[in-house]
Amino acid sequence: MKTVAVIDIGKTNAKVALVDLDRFEEVAVRRTGNAVVREAPYPHFDTARLWAFILDSLAELHRETPVDAISVTAHGATAVLVDAHGDLALPVLDYEHSGPDTVRPAYDRVRPPFSETGSAELPGGLNIGAQIYWQQQTFPDAFSRVASILTYAQYWTFLLTGVRTTELTSLGCHSDLWNPKAGRFSTLVDAQGWERLFAPVHQADDGLGGLTEAVAARTGLPKDTPVTCGIHDSNASLLPHLLARPAPFSVVSTGTWVVILSVGGADVVLDEHRDTLINVNALGDPVPSARFMGGRAFATLIGNDPVSATEADIEQVLARSAMLLPSVPQGSGPYPSMVARFTVDEAALSPGERFAVVSFHLALMTATSLGLIGAAGDIIVEGPFAANATYLRMLSAATGRAVRAGSQSATGTSLGAACLAARGRARVRDGAPVRETSAAFAAYARDWLGRVEAEAPQGSSV
């Protein structure tokens, strides 16, 4: 086996990447946006358009370089309800939709405690249990046609293979559906009578067989091309490190969400009100985690054409203590109840200074989250933030630990997903460790944290 086609469905963008296992790197990529369809019955993902994109991309890539296997990774907080024929019983809900909040009081009476699931109560459909409950209560006729509930990556493997599955990392991702310590469905699933609807649970690297006749004909791939079950995207970023790196360490997976995962760290009590949670890794083990919408914040504050900070920009920001205090967007991360503000005139910041201020903010949000989950050892940053030296330097200064830049690919997940097809080929490639020892950086980090603690709303958990 030499090449794996990885289908990578992110919240903002989707791609199909060809990973060369010998070089352990992406060698070809097709990309598309993942816009939400804002039409009845509720905002939903355009799965038909994504499926056409996937098939076209597989055909194109295979014509250029033979594809030996297919793996899938996708964002969490998404369940797919299909009928007996394999068609959608209801559209695939955009988890940012507020619909599930309309039944929140009733759902709160049946959802399991944080101590059982490691899933904090999150808004909208960010808890899969909440979205399924809302769909069942709001669209009973459509829900009565549901024959199978699939986790999101496994919906795409179902379309590829015809095999209906769910998978551990996707079930164990702040879903309310899984008990990570016991390794089974939560009491919510049993109480609601949903277990009969969930497709069989698999591990991420389980083989599901080959392609359907229709997919093979459409793409030109051999029908016996192996397809693995698939994996939640942040756990895809973690997987190569699990396979190739000794603990303790932590992985910061950056994209629309910044997801921080601690392996072999201190045993701490997680605070469900500060966006900490338990994930389940590809080996089935619980992983203390934290998250905030860092990629969304960067895009909102900086845009798509950033001007990186020069050393002079950084010195100016440090000298003036120019800061952005949490949270952007409000409602997620370690300071969910705080209203963001700049400590200086935002309009007076040059583009490079603004880049530095925002990068420092994101690094300090990350450092706070790492502390909340007891992370120890080296910090490996995957995804777009791995290319941001300003972010890496402040993260090192704030934590006092070595920070290493991992993969800088668009989502930092394709290489990990490729490991599902060939675990023994996993490799990690780190940049040189960043160890920021500047007293000015450390003082800025202490000042930022002090201001945050001083301004936190009374009665908050900060």
Chain segment 37-65, per-residue pLDDT in tens: 999 999 999 999 999 999 999 999 999 99
Gyration radius of the chain over CA positions: 22
Last residue in a domain, options 229, 263, 289:
229
pLDDT at 79: 97
When divided into structural domains, the chain yields a total of 2
The strands making up 258-263's β-sheet, listed across from edge to edge, are 276-280, 286-292, 258-263, 249-254, 378-382, 403-405
pLDDT at 412: 57
Q: Are residues 291 and 221 in the same domain?
A: no
Q: Are residues 285 and 203 in the same domain?
A: no
Q: Which two tokens stand for residue 354?
A: 């603004």
The rounded mean pLDDT for the chain is: 94
Task: Say how far apart CA 434 and CA 349 lie, in whole Å.
Answer: 26
Task: Say how far apart CA 380 and CA 150 lie, in whole Å.
Answer: 31
Last residue in a domain, options 181, 200, 229:
229
Percent helix, strand and coil across the chain, each to the nearest 5: 35, 20, 40
pLDDT at 459: 46
Give the dihedral of Cα atoms 404, 406, 310, 295; nearest 10 deg: -110
pLDDT at 305: 87
Q: Are residues 216 and 248 in the same domain?
A: no
pLDDT at 457: 79
Task: Say how far apart CA 182 and CA 262 lie, in whole Å.
Answer: 20
Average pLDDT over residues 296-319: 95
Q: Which residue has 């200064």 as its token pair?
A: 397
461 belongs to a structural domain: no
Q: Are residues 269 and 386 in the same domain?
A: yes
260 belongs to a structural domain: yes
Q: What is the CATH number of the domain that holds 164?
A: 3.30.420.40
239 belongs to a structural domain: no
DSSP reduced 3-state for 221:
coil
Q: Are residues 189 and 317 in the same domain?
A: no
pLDDT at 427: 79
Q: Which domain holds residue 172?
A: 3-229
Q: Which two tokens stand for residue 88?
A: 């959608």
Task: Give the count of beta carbons closer than 10 Å to the beta carbon of residue 84.
Answer: 10
Q: Are residues 190 and 296 in the same domain?
A: no
Q: Are 97 and 126 in contact (CB under 8 A)?
A: no
The DSSP symbol for 433 reads: P
Average pLDDT over residues 377-399: 95
225 belongs to a structural domain: yes
pLDDT band with cut points at 50, 70 and 90 for residue 408: low
Q: Are residues 183 and 256 in the same domain?
A: no
Q: Are 450 and 325 in contact (CB under 8 A)?
A: no
Q: Diameter of the chain by CA atoms?
A: 64
Task: Give the count of alpha carbons within 13 A of 208, CB side only.
Answer: 32
Q: Are residues 274 and 396 in the same domain?
A: yes
Task: Give the count of beta carbons closer than 10 Å to the beta carbon of residue 141.
Answer: 7
Answer whether residue 461 shows pLDDT above 60. Answer: no
**H/E element holding 201?**
strand 201-202
Q: What is the pLDDT of residues 413-435, one digit of tens each?
A: 899 999 999 887 887 877 889 99
Answer whether residue 411 shows pLDDT above 50. Answer: no
Q: Are residues 219 and 278 in the same domain?
A: no
* Amino acid in position 260: I
Average pLDDT over residues 127-145: 98
460 belongs to a structural domain: no
Q: What is the pLDDT of residues 13-34, one digit of tens each?
A: 999 999 999 998 899 999 999 9
Average pLDDT over residues 259-280: 95
Q: Are residues 203 and 290 in the same domain?
A: no
238 belongs to a structural domain: no
pLDDT at 187: 98
Q: Are residues 178 and 324 in the same domain?
A: no
pLDDT at 425: 82
Among 93-102, 271-280, 403-412, 440-449, whose mean pLDDT is lowest?
A: 403-412
303 belongs to a structural domain: yes
Q: Are strands 276-280 and 324-325 parallel, antiparallel or unpaired?
A: unpaired
- Prediction pTM value: 0.86
Q: Are 346 and 340 in contact (CB under 8 A)?
A: no
Chain length of the chain: 462
In degrees, to the nearest 5, what angle opens at C-alpha 276 toward C-alphas 47 and 13? 25
Last residue in a domain, options 179, 202, 229:
229
Which sign, positive or negative, has the C-alpha torsion 430, 333, 410, 127? positive
Q: Are residues 421 and 448 in the same domain?
A: yes
pLDDT at 199: 98
Task: Say how far apart CA 288 and CA 277 lie, in whole Å.
Answer: 6
Burial 429-446 (b: 16+ CB within 10 A, else e): ebbeebebeeeebbebbe
Task: Say how far apart CA 386 and CA 258 lie, in whole Å.
Answer: 12
Average pLDDT over residues 82-101: 98
Q: Are 457 and 335 in contact (CB under 8 A)?
A: no
237 belongs to a structural domain: no
